[in-house]
A and B are shown apart, each in its own frame.
Chain A
Amino acid sequence: MRLLNSRIIRFLVGIWLPIVLIWWWWTWSADSVDPFFPPLSAIWEQFKFNWIWQYVPIHVVPSLRNLFVGYFIGIFAGITLGALLGASPRVSRYFEPVIDFLRSIPPVATVPVFILFFGLDAQMRIVAVAVAACFPTLLSTMQGFRATDPTLLDTGKVFRLTPFQMMWKVRVPNASPIIWSGLQVSLQIAFVVTIASEILGSGFGIGAFTTISIDSFMILDAWTGVVLLGLLGFALNVIFDLVERWSLRWYIGQKKLAS
């Protein structure tokens, strides 16, 4: 299997299955009369009609806005709190049980709670996303900060680095491989909560569009919503991976060398 060492061959081998699957779906559904499983070709036509670019402003834009605003608020809070708790074990002893409990609640289950707090508007969605996104980042930051190498802290002290430098040039980068894994989980959860808040809150957004389509028996529309959400979820992860890999290139390089 020497052949598989070539990148191009690996790429080709990697995509034959998805191609076959899509082709199979396409032909299998081609003359489907099942109302729940319309032909893929019809879904594709409808997809182009809906999402290029007719409904983008009213559904895609609010979804992405809520997702990103909530996500960034959430991870900012998560990193800040996690850094404070991780740097001071004595304080964190008191918070940990409460945090442990709160993170055991399925993130989506908090959406009804936020509806009680804030009603059904965009604000509710953003807060729900932010809170849900906060926890994984908080926990991973805490863990990362605890594991700070004492030699690095000593080095910082003997060279009289400022507290700001200690934080952003020593502790945060040192913890960053762990923080990044938390950030990724946060993003996935933020995505789920965004959709859930749209389905439960009704109105705008891709999630809302899809449920409304189901309720009004517009099956084709619902399928386009599902496909769009699937592609978006995948794209977010791919983009995240790229950013992470760029930011952690020192870490990846180091590990590659070690193995």
Chain B
Amino acid sequence: MATAISVNGVSMEYKTPKGTTHVLDDVSYEVQDGHFVSIVGPSGVGKTTLLRLLTGLALPTAGEIQVRGKKISSSPDDLAVVLQDYTRSLMPWLSVEKNIALPLKNQKLSKAERKERITASLAEVGLEGAESKYPWQLSGGMQQRVSIARALAVRPSILVMDEPFASVDAQTRFDLEDLVLKVRDDFGITTLMVTHDIDEAVYLSDEIVVLHGKPAKVRDVVKVDIPFPRSQMETRNDQRFAELRTHVYGMVRGLE
């Protein structure tokens, strides 16, 4: 299996007027093609920072990140992102349709193809017919689905998400989790997700990367050996699920 992303000895420091904050220290990790990987860790540990480095929004102070063997220096192609703050990552002056269309404008697509992509990805997230609505006319969960649809519409080979379900209600959250798994199956997308929620990480992932410390290092990589397909009811009641989540939870809290 090929490597989709490799993170090699990455360190990150923020320079502020008050001095430098050392956030990440010598982080190394490889994501295999088609895998679902979650990054967990306590709040403020540097998860979003790592994700900004992966998406080329910031450059590491040491080390390098390669996407499909190429070192990245800006946002790589065929990678799509769902940012943490979805209420502010959709353009409020564009309708849902135009929001999704915006990144597609630079791909060589005919008008009809573009239209088709938009319809298809909206259908994928269960938002048929919302094309002409403005984002702020939709509920939080629906907005989040639009931003997932926008990411899917570019047909990325890698999908990166920062706490995508943090502020939606529990029911929507389960639906969206299953949606993400389905998308991964349908398109074979390599998926990287930052989350606070350890249950969610265990439920979705092939592997969980635990960040810990100040500056943060990779504390451990947990392989989730629960077979796919998974289901909300059964998987979450599984013996193995409980063991894994206790294990990860302990590491995140620094108990183990």
Quick check: do A and B touch in the complex, using CB within 8 A?
yes
Which residues of A does B touch, CB under 8 Å?
149, 151-152, 154-155, 157-162, 165, 169-170, 173-174, 176, 250-251, 253-254, 257
Question: In the complex, which residue of chain B has the Cβ closest to the Cβ of A258?
Answer: B136
- Is B109 in the interface zone, CB < 8 Å from A? no
Picked from A154, A162, A250, A257, the residue with its CB within 8 Å of the CB of B57 is A154
Which residues of B does A touch, CB under 8 Å?
52, 55-57, 74-75, 77, 79-81, 83, 85, 88-89, 91-94, 102-103, 105-106, 134, 136-137, 150, 154
Q: Is B136 a contact partner of A254 (Cβ separation < 8 A)?
A: yes
Chain A neighbourhood of B137, CB < 8 A: 253, 257
Chain A neighbourhood of B150, CB < 8 A: 159
How far is A159 from B134 in the complex, measured between Cα atoms in Å? 20
Q: Is B93 a contact partner of A151 (Cβ separation < 8 A)?
A: no
Q: Which of B55, B89, B137 has the most CB of A within 10 A?
A: B89
How far is A133 from B106 in the complex, measured between Cα atoms in Å? 36
- Contacts A159-B80, A159-B154 given; does A253 touch B136 at CB 8 Å: yes
Shortest Cβ distance from A26 into chain B, in angstroms? 47
Picked from A157, A174, A253, A254, the residue with its CB within 8 Å of the CB of B75 is A157
Q: Is A151 a contact partner of B88 (Cβ separation < 8 A)?
A: yes
Shortest Cβ distance from A107 into chain B, in angstroms? 31
Picked from A151, A152, A161, the residue with its CB within 8 Å of the CB of B103 is A161
Q: Is A155 a contact partner of B83 (Cβ separation < 8 A)?
A: yes
Question: In the complex, which residue of chain A has the Cβ closest to the Cβ of B52?
Answer: A154
Picked from B79, B80, B93, the residue with its CB within 8 Å of the CB of A250 is B93
How far is A10 from B150 in the complex, measured between Cα atoms in Å? 44
Extra A-B contacts (14), CB below 8 Å, given A151-B83, A159-B75, A176-B93? A149-B88, A151-B88, A155-B81, A155-B83, A155-B89, A157-B75, A158-B81, A159-B154, A160-B75, A169-B94, A173-B91, A250-B93, A250-B134, A257-B137
Q: Is B106 a contact partner of A154 (Cβ separation < 8 A)?
A: no
Chain B neighbourhood of A250, CB < 8 A: 92-94, 134, 136
Q: Is B57 a contact partner of A165 (Cβ separation < 8 A)?
A: no
How far is A199 from B74 in the complex, measured between Cα atoms in Å? 58
Q: Is A158 a contact partner of B136 (Cβ separation < 8 A)?
A: no
How far is A257 from B89 in the complex, measured between Cα atoms in Å? 19
How far is A141 from B236 in the complex, measured between Cα atoms in Å? 53
Chain A neighbourhood of B56, CB < 8 A: 157-158
How far is A161 from B106 in the complex, measured between Cα atoms in Å? 7
Q: Is B77 a contact partner of A160 (Cβ separation < 8 A)?
A: yes
How far is A257 from B136 in the complex, measured between Cα atoms in Å? 8
Picked from B52, B80, B83, B91, the residue with its CB within 8 Å of the CB of A169 is B91
- Contacts A253-B134, A254-B134, A257-B136 given; does A158 touch B55 at CB 8 Å: yes
